[in-house]
Amino acid sequence: MSVFKTKKSGAVYWFDFVIQGHRFYGSTRCTSKREAEDFETIERKRARELIKSQRNAAYSLQIDHVADRFWQEVGQYHAGYDATQRNLARIVDYFGPTTPLTVIDDAAIAKLVAWRRGQHVKGRRDAPLISPATVNRSVTKVLKRLFTFAISEGARFEREINWTRHWLKEPPERVRELQDHEAAAFDDAMRSDYQPFFDFVRTSGLRLRECVTLRWTEVNFGTRQIVRLGKGGRRVVFPITGTIREILFPLQGLHPDFVFTYLAQYGNKRLGLVRGERYPLTLTGTKSAWQSIRAKAGVTDFRFHDYRHDFGTKLLRSSGNLKLVQRAMNHADIKSTLRYAHVLDGDIAEAIENVAKSREKSRGPARKVG
């Protein structure tokens, strides 16, 4: 064993060994020689796994290197690329940039999940803990993507991660439909410069980001289509109906690039804003305006994303066609669309009753008993 102490390390032992020309060294963080030797044994095993995996991989398996390549080739093209960037940075910071993927095992991932689920919304101590869905999507899913990406580059891992073990159970996503009186309250509370945007949101059922960042280059009145990238980098094609055209057509000329704009309520030299001038909507600004409009309307328990649920619910009730709704909402999996299937309960009950009546009719008049 090659554990040792130095004058600088004090009572803590260090390890230093070479395997197949690769040097590995560092602190064992142990003051007992026996514990330090056990630590070094584990490090030697990890080092052999790393060398074996590295030999098969075309590139470095250091986590910051894998994350950077993933970002350059995949992540930056996600619809929610800014969230992907934050999540990658969070994982790299947690494990340390030089940590190889080969040393991240089920135990390490379990600690990561526990650390993340103990955090509060927006980092405020008085705020509620983040949801299981946020934990799953911000760390577990992202880390799994890094492993999958490394494997696609040729890496081979000795230990297979049991990802289902780390996936937290999520409550079924609720489906909230907007009531007529709530819609009227929102209309009364609406800022006039935001009215076209919210009309478009309700009529299209597109996601917040897909609406806020809509560009004129993605709108084609000639073909009557909106074509752009949506969630997961999937191509979204949405028809420009008569109602959609009435919303969008008058907005031409307000901004050369972006469809939806707002009027600056106040000037701001630092941000370069001039009062009364129009500027493209931003995600942060839109969320802030939404909070104000909702508070003024006095509508509770209705999130911005519920506009999308409202659209899906009403579309399915009108069409009775799950596949049509799946396409309209750009769901990759029909399971996502099935959350709206409850609106068909009345149709199902009617169909069952019709079958029963048909069966009774086919049996003819009831025979007398006795």
Residues 6+ apart with CB under 8 A from 234: 79, 330, 332
SS3 50: helix
* Per-residue confidence band for 176, with pLDDT thresholds at 50, 70 and 90: confident
Q: In whole angstroms, how large is the CA radius of gyration of the chain? A: 28
Burial of 191 (0-12, 13-18, 19+ CB in 10 A): middle
The residue length of the chain stands at: 370
Backbone angles phi, psi at 64, to 5 degrees: -70, -30
pLDDT tens column, 193-212: 999 999 999 999 998 988 99
Please give the pLDDT value at position 363.
61
* Contact (CB, 8 A) for 29 and 15: no
Measured between alpha carbons, how far is 16 from 254 in angstroms, rounded to an integer? 65
Q: Residue 226 is encoded by which pair of tokens? A: 């909106």
Say which residue the tokens 């000639």 belong to: 222
Q: Which amino acid is at 268?
A: N
Query: Secondary structure of the chain: what % helix, strand, coil (to 5)?
Result: 55, 10, 35
Backbone angles phi, psi at 63, to 5 degrees: -60, -35
Sorted by where each begins, the domain ranges of the chain are: 3-56, 63-166, 180-346
* Per-residue confidence band for 25, with pLDDT thresholds at 50, 70 and 90: confident
pLDDT tens column, 268-315: 888 888 999 999 999 999 999 999 999 999 999 899 999 999 999 999
Please give the pLDDT value at position 370.
47
Nearest alpha-carbon partner for 61 in 163, 153, 133: 153
Angle among Cα 137, 76, 91 to the nearest 5 degrees reads 45
Query: Under CATH, what is the fold of the domain 180-346?
Result: hpI Integrase; Chain A (1.10.443)
Contacts of residues 221-229 at CB distance under 8 Å and 24 or more positions apart, as own/partner, are 221/245, 221/248, 221/249, 229/77, 229/79
pLDDT tens column, 41-87: 888 887 777 666 665 555 788 899 999 999 999 888 776 788 899 99
Measured between alpha carbons, how far is 8 from 87 in angstroms, rounded to an integer? 36
Mean pLDDT value across residues 120-148: 87
Nearest alpha-carbon partner for 291 in 189, 146, 171: 189
CA 65 to chain centre: 23
Which comes out higher in pLDDT, residue 168 or 337?
168
pLDDT at 158 over 70: yes
Please give the pLDDT value at position 102.
87
Q: CA-CA distances (angstroms) from residue 243 to 141, 202, 203, 249?
A: 38, 11, 8, 10
pLDDT at 3 over 60: yes
Please give the pLDDT value at position 186.
96
* Contact (CB, 8 A) for 14 and 5: yes
Measured between alpha carbons, how far is 32 from 51 in angstroms, rounded to an integer? 28
Say which residue the tokens 């509508």 belong to: 299
Angle among Cα 217, 220, 222 to the nearest 5 degrees reads 145
Measured between alpha carbons, how far is 195 from 186 in angstroms, rounded to an integer? 10
Say which residue the tokens 């009572």 belong to: 11
Measured between alpha carbons, how far is 34 from 153 in angstroms, rounded to an integer? 39
Q: Quote the percentage of the chain above a pLDDT of 90.
A: 48
pLDDT at 29 over 80: yes
Among 89-93, 164-168, 207-211, 247-251, name the one with the lowest average pLDDT: 207-211
Mean pLDDT value across residues 322-342: 86
Measured between alpha carbons, how far is 91 from 85 in angstroms, rounded to an integer? 10
Mean pLDDT value across residues 162-183: 90
Taking the complete model, does pTM exceed 0.85, yes or no? no
* Per-residue confidence band for 28, with pLDDT thresholds at 50, 70 and 90: confident
Q: Residue 169 is encoded by which pair of tokens? A: 């159970």
* Mean pLDDT across the chain: 87
Mean pLDDT value across residues 110-137: 87
Buried b (16+ CB within 10 A) or exposed e, 225-264: ebebebbeeeebebebeeebeebbeebeeebeebbbbbeb
